[in-house]
Structure 1
Amino acid sequence: MNIKTIPSQNVILQKINQYATYDIVYANRHDMRSPKLLTLITNKARLSIVHYWDSLTKIKGQKETIPYFDSHYSFDKNDRVPYGLHFTTNFYFIDNFSQKPKYEVLFPGTYDHRFPKIKQIIQQLSNQGINVNALLFPKDKNIRKQYASTNTSFPDKITPFPEIVAYSGNTPIILDIHHPNQSGLSFRPFEAIGLKKKLITTNPDIQTYDFYDPNNIFIWTDTTLSVPDSFFSTPYTEIPLTIQQKYTLENWVHSVLTIKSNSL
């Protein structure tokens, strides 16, 4: 076990032992919990639910946690059949707001193996005359010096979520770069729904979702050289209210937790 997870394990142990039993236990990042702790938690629950926020091929140790839980959810469609998981999307819990935009296109995230693709897209958009920026937190401080750029910012610490929302809220278009081994949509497309922003994404699976509108969403492929000017000049197209509500946090909680609890 990673010794850094021990304080977290102890805190969870103290919390879970406050009650003898639980109607529902919902878990995520369970791959960071010891088998002993997972056994204790799920044995106390009348119904245990686990949610895989990353594909099972991306994060090691997730597949081994499947037997501990009664009900399993994943945001990645590719995990449904081989592992018998229920599919559920991510969600948004922020509302639309806009101030004076600082950038036309923004990618907020962390520095990882996607950086070459991010750098390529940022450069191509910049060549189009688009004011674009990537806000990337690097674990290695040397990254800031190595890849210093006018189109890429490397903050000294992880940007708090409210600040990320503020950046995205002040940007007409959000950039989404998916992980190559995942088909599931990250939170970025759903934040775009809540904020009513356009989206540029590298995830082609977004075409299969009911909120997909080519006026709002541009899919960047390996052969893309530029984004049509019309994508930047046309306004955001409102999607039906029923579809907006479908992807709210409230509806997500209802579909994952409330319905399951009725069967207890």
Structure 2
Amino acid sequence: MKILYVNKNLNLSKPIVDQLIRMGFEVDVLIENLPQALDKSALVHKIGNIFSRLILKDKNYFIKKEKQLFEKFAEKQLKNKTYDIAFFIRADMYSEKLIKRVRKQSEKMVSYQWDGVDMYPKILDYYKYFDRRLVFDGNDIRKYSQYNLLSLPIYHYTENIFHDPAKEEFDLFYVGVGLDERIKWAYNIEDYSKENDLKFKAILTIPEFREEKKTKSVSLRHKGISLAENEKYTEKAKAVVDFKMSTHNGVAFRFFECLNQEQKFVSNNHNLKDYDFYHPDNIFITDFENFTGLKEFLQKPYHKIDRKIVEKYGIKNWLKYALDYGDYEPINLP
């Protein structure tokens, strides 16, 4: 079977594409490399931007031009091709014109939102083009019942890699985008760690206009780290930290990797208690203000979870369920 895979997150695409190939699909990746960025310094674009802002009262000149550039790139990639399945992750990132074109060239269309629907509600306008619509937040299924949404949390993709306590260099590790609330929470963990003789490391990516800062435990930096670097740091931590956003109740990527690797996890996501993989020795729930019991939690050994439950959330079963292909274990959300 031939599948078109569409996802602008190139960093997270490789495990999915590799698994699709192992499953026997002929995979056409629409975005293996993004088109060359628009040269904003070019005279024609400088003039176009000024005209757009002053005459048309439109401040989105460069955004629109970049979208046009991508559309031309995508049309060239899709020319004279047909697919058994088209699998979009975050279809809201594309134009309706592109979605309609792929619909005409595909037998089945599958959409997956790995962010809450309310964060990117444009997807609701596109659901009419999709045969299978999956979301990672159970609240979206209840809120938008008219769209017949299906549940699908995130997955883990590493194989036969288990956390080794002998490699631990610090107790807690976090990496992510440096939103103000997350930065505050990171400093809260730093204070708690100092008081309780714990080692904490946090890397938060901030925009260029904000000043880079670094303490003993927390690094606010402009440049993020690669997936490989993230895995190296994770390997050295006793527990991985997750700051759940208030806009969704889905479970983060980092958790499922910890589940697979048998590594402890600290989060403010209370919904973790409702899943079949939950155990209080493995998952510590906090509001990142009150850390009572965290040090004791870190001292307890990891409680092994039935591998059948763990494998259900692996990328192979995840893809089979997402695409409704072959035999799979359904993945339900609380």
CA positional deviation for 1:167: 1.0
Corresponding position: 1:193 with 2:254? no
Q: Determine if the alignment matches structure 1 residue 14 to structure 2 residue 80.
A: no
Query: Aligned partner of 1:182: which letter?
Result: H
- List alignment gaps of at least 5 residues for structure 1: none
Q: Does 1:117 align with 2:185?
A: yes
C-alpha contact 2:281 2:303 (8 A) present in aligned 1: yes
Percentage identity across aligned positions?
22
**Higher-Rg member (1/2):** 2
The one-letter amino acid paired with 2:153 is T
Instruction: Report the TM-score when normalising by structure 1.
Output: 0.89
1:16-41 Cα distance to aligned partner (Å, 9 max, x none): 2251x211000012222111111101
Name the CA distance, whole Å, in 1 between partners of 2:101 and 2:271. Answer: 38
Q: CA deviation at 1:261?
A: 11
Give the structure 1 partner of residue 91 of structure 2: 30
Q: Which residue of 1 aligns with 2:175?
A: 108
| 1:76-225 to 2 correspondences below 5 Å | 76-83=137-144, 84-94=148-158, 95-98=161-164, 100-115=167-182, 116-140=184-208, 142-145=210-213, 148-221=214-287, 224-225=290-291
CA separation in 1, counterparts of 2:304 and 2:249? 25
Q: Give the conservation status (yes or no) of the 8 Å contact 2:202–2:217.
A: yes
1:102 aligned partner, one-letter code: E
SS at structure 1 position matched to 2:170: coil
Shift in Å, 1:194 = 1.9
Count residues in correspondence: 259
Gap change, CA 1:122 and 1:261, over 3 Å in 2: same
Counterpart pick for 2:315 among 234, 249, 254: 249
Deviation at 1:222, TM superposition (A): 6.4
| Whole-Å separation in 2 of the counterparts to 1:201 and 1:134 | 14
1:104 is paired with a residue whose SS is strand
Which secondary structure state, in structure 1, belongs to the residue aligned with residue 167 of structure 2? coil
Distance 1:192 1:222 in 2: 20
Instruction: Judge which range, 36-45 or 53-62, deviates more.
Output: 53-62
The 1:36/1:247 distance shift into structure 2, 3 A limit, reads same
Gaps of 5+ in 2: 1-62, 329-334
CA-CA distance at 1:153 after TM superposition = 1.6
Report the CA distance shift for 1:141/1:131 in structure 2 as closer, same or farther (over 3 A). farther
Q: CA RMSD, aligned part only?
A: 2.3
TM-superposition CA deviations, 1:187-210 (whole Å, max 9, x none): 121011122110011000000101
- Paired AA for residue 49 in structure 1: V
Partner of 2:32: none
Secondary structure of the residue aligned to 2:102 is: helix
Moved more, 103-112 or 197-206: 103-112
SS in 2 for 1:153: strand
* Residue 230 of structure 1: how far off its partner (Å): 2.5
Structure 1 match to 2:56: none
Shift in Å at residue 151 of structure 1? Answer: 1.5
The reply on whether 1:64 has 2:125 as its aligned counterpart is yes
Query: Of the two structures, which has the highest relative contact order with CA contacts closer than 8 Å and spacing of 6 or more?
Result: 1
Aligned equivalents of 2:68, 2:169: Cα separation in 1: 42
Mark the CA change 1:236 to 1:141 in structure 2 (over 3 Å): closer, same or farther: farther
Moved more, 205-214 or 34-43: 34-43
When residues 3 and 60 of structure 1 are mapped into structure 2, their CA distance, relative to the original with a 3 A threshold, is: farther
